[in-house]
Chains A and B, each alone.
Chain A
């Protein structure tokens, strides 16, 4: 493992260590922009030489961009499968990029709140990621970064179709804004299907935690805008923001109703989850997601102190297979052994947690 890469992996990160903007329901917000260089074929059609050329140009510009001065830059081909997996689990690169061949790269800033993928589906996929519900802030950051990059890169742009992208579904703004939503009460109450339908009708998409095709373990869903052409970035973000706010409201209402109609149900689930996390010796990553999800709900309901939220959010990431392997200092561990190591890590972390206090009247945080 290169020393640069090691530094990135062990540094405090926005997603796992920023305590300040943690909140119930919205785990993190993310904004990405798709950009391409004029006069170059898109990555999927470019030959090796052209991909290298694009990668070199982009890396050069990125390294001179304010905000990315102290970033780490890596070529995907130089990273081992285990290292790529770590980056996927941290939402810093996509599964698609992780599987690409020569001439792809990634640039990640120090606190891992910015990552730029080079030669994924488009020449550039710029991403800003914030813990909690901070869509506008994420947009401001990425807007400035994009404008700075444009000083030295010739973007492919047309007055009619906006930023030109390999896939026509990203034309126009090239903007995809999303939030990772923690919706356990809506799942328990069987209302998710209704929510998904309503959200679709508003032109938004609901996916699992790791994007297209991933499952919704831990009751975590990614909700994002679907269309990119014909509206300004601000309008797109504002509409998403409103939809997300109303989903937060629905989730909180669903929690209220569950507590009213079946007062023992949620405390029971949360207490059991806490028990298993404290005492189990084998836990799969899907089970870990579901248990951690319930304990996070416990923090929202005031059963655990607010300070423990950041630890739970970190464990969501540290319980993924790549992180379990990384912690053990190995590159490939059988899944049974991973389950044992995962349970061991969770036990040691939850030993530091205070035991839940099931107050009859809970605080409502939003």
Chain B
């Protein structure tokens, strides 16, 4: 037998189960007694599941939302509530607590299976590798580990050469 359903809003056992069709889509919500009370679900006449679903998916409950902030662009979940748009590509990494619940009902799946920008990815990993090596080189020089520094310098030259990038003649 299936394990008892958990409440969509907290982890208690769900005892209130609702199904509603909004915009030709079937939405199901399972809630525990307390959350159902809090959301006013016990009065079915004055309650729209769509509102609840929308709010639940766009505004995660405070524990997830509070303190969320994109380190790159300073975007906070309240901004999304206003515009429906994110601030920068990194928001998707830094605000997963906001993104993940939102995606559940939005698309056919939550894993990309289409085209991949091969060259951009290769270029990015090359840049990352080079910048790591440059950092290592600087650290080695500063620490006067000249043997290591020479190794990093050679490696940088090799990587640049293999990628067809101009190599500064030392």
Contact = CB atoms under 8 A, between A and B. Distances in A.
B89 A160 contact: no
A154 B85 contact: no
A354 B119 CA distance: 55
A153 interface: yes
A172 B92 contact: no
Interface stretch (A35-43, A70-78, A265-273): A35-43
A344 interface: no
Interface in B108-146: 108-121, 123-124
Given A171-B107, A200-B23, A228-B107, A121 B117 contact: no
B112 A159 contact: yes
B50 to A, nearest CB: 15
A166 interface: yes
Contacts of B19: none
B102 A168 contact: yes
Contacts of A171: 92, 103, 107, 112
Contacts of B83: 44
B26 to A, nearest CB: 10
Contacts of A161: 92, 99, 112
Given A150-B119, A168-B106, A231-B113, A38 B124 contact: yes
Contacts of B102: 168
A280 interface: no
Given A172-B112, A200-B24, A229-B112, A164 B85 contact: no
A306 B24 CA distance: 40
Contacts of B110: 160, 229-230
A163 B107 CA distance: 14
Contacts of A169: 106
Q: How large is the interface on B (under 10, 10 to 19, 20 to 34, 35 or more residues)?
A: 20 to 34
B103 A168 contact: yes
Contact of A227 (B75, B93, B106): B106
A206 to B, nearest CB: 12
Interface string A161-181: 111101111011101000000
B73 interface: yes
B88 interface: yes
A155 interface: yes
B85 A167 contact: yes
A158 interface: yes
B97 interface: no
Interface in A184-241: 197, 200-201, 203, 227-233
Given A150-B119, A229-B103, A229-B107, A164 B114 contact: no
B54 to A, nearest CB: 13
Nearest to A175: B114
A327 interface: no
Contacts of B89: 36, 38-40, 42, 156, 158, 164
A45 B107 contact: no
Contacts of A45: 73, 75, 85, 87-88
A333 to B, nearest CB: 36
A366 B124 CA distance: 49
B24 A166 contact: no
B70 to A, nearest CB: 10
B116 A230 contact: no
B168 interface: no
A153 B120 contact: yes
Contacts of B112: 158-163, 171-173, 229-230
A227 B25 CA distance: 14
A42 B23 CA distance: 30
Nearest to B84: A167
A157 interface: yes
B121 A157 contact: yes
A273 to B, nearest CB: 34
A358 to B, nearest CB: 40
B21 to A, nearest CB: 11
Contact of A157 (B23, B99, B109, B120): B120
Contacts of B108: 203, 227, 229-231
Nearest to B79: A45
Given A154-B124, A173-B115, A229 B92 contact: no
Given A197-B24, A229-B111, 13 more contacts: A41-B73, A41-B87, A44-B85, A146-B115, A154-B123, A154-B124, A159-B116, A160-B112, A164-B89, A166-B86, A169-B106, A230-B110, A233-B114
Interface of B: 23-24, 73, 75, 83-89, 92-93, 99, 102-103, 106-121, 123-124
27 contacts: A36-B89, A38-B89, A39-B89, A41-B73, A41-B87, A44-B85, A45-B73, A45-B85, A45-B87, A150-B117, A150-B118, A154-B124, A157-B120, A157-B121, A160-B110, A161-B99, A162-B112, A163-B112, A166-B85, A167-B85, A168-B86, A172-B114, A200-B24, A229-B109, A231-B108, A231-B109, A231-B114
